[in-house]
Amino acid sequence: MARSSKKRSATSAVAVTIDVSVEAGAWPSEEALGALAAYAVEAAIAEAGGHAAQPVELSLMFTDDAHIQVLNAEWRGKDKPTNVLSFPAFPTKIGDTLPPMLGDIVLAFETVKNEASLEGKPFEHHITHLIVHGLLHLMGHDHETDGEAEVMEELERRALARLAIPDPYA
């Protein structure tokens, strides 16, 4: 059974309502995930220079590898699980005013948990990093070229540093 809750990032210059839905997997509570998401979103928007003319909405789905594999196959043509997928509601370029609906970010429990364990980092830190990563995609960032990857990774590092989370790429 899916659980869902709303969390508002209240201290950011951009008001963001975050809809948190736990579909599958042994994730932390919705309240804990909502708090991680609020901090991650605020830090990412601050570092990326996000701005909006009105409040914006973001949807986060926490699921398992089986579900994300289906999404990854359908939307990216890659029939395998992945840690995070982002689905923008509107096409957004870097520096654009944020749309009223940013889009969806989906995380897969087993992959995220295994990566955190293999990398020797707290599970919550890895979740936070992937939310930042997904949100940057929704804000128009990508990592298809080396230059794009450098820019995006630096924004991730700075956003996570705001939250006292160590460099995920170190």
Which structure tokens are listed for 166? 């160590």
What was the pLDDT predicted at 12? 53
Could you report the per-residue pLDDT of 50-102, keeping only the tens digit for each?
Answer: 999 889 999 999 999 999 999 999 999 999 999 999 999 999 999 999 999 99
The CATH number of the domain holding residue 143 is 3.40.390.30
Question: Is the per-residue pLDDT at 164 higher than 70?
Answer: yes
In a domain, 170, yes or no: no
Could you report the per-residue pLDDT of 112-161, keeping only the tens digit for each?
Answer: 999 999 999 999 999 999 999 999 999 999 998 889 999 999 999 999 99
In a domain, 169, yes or no: no
In a domain, 156, yes or no: yes
In a domain, 157, yes or no: yes
Question: Is the per-residue pLDDT at 36 higher than 90?
Answer: yes
Residue 114 and residue 132: Cα distance in Å, rounded? 19
Question: Is the per-residue pLDDT at 3 higher than 70?
Answer: no
- Residues whose CB falls within 8 Å of the CB of residue 92, separated by 6 or more in sequence, listed in order: 98, 99, 102, 138, 139, 140
Compute the average pLDDT of residues 15-43.
Answer: 95
What is the pTM for the complete model shown?
Answer: 0.92
In a domain, 89, yes or no: yes
In a domain, 147, yes or no: yes
In a domain, 99, yes or no: yes
Q: State the residue range of the domain holding 97.
A: 3-162
| Domain count along the chain | 1
In a domain, 167, yes or no: no
Give the containing element (helix H, strand E) for 46. Answer: helix 30-48
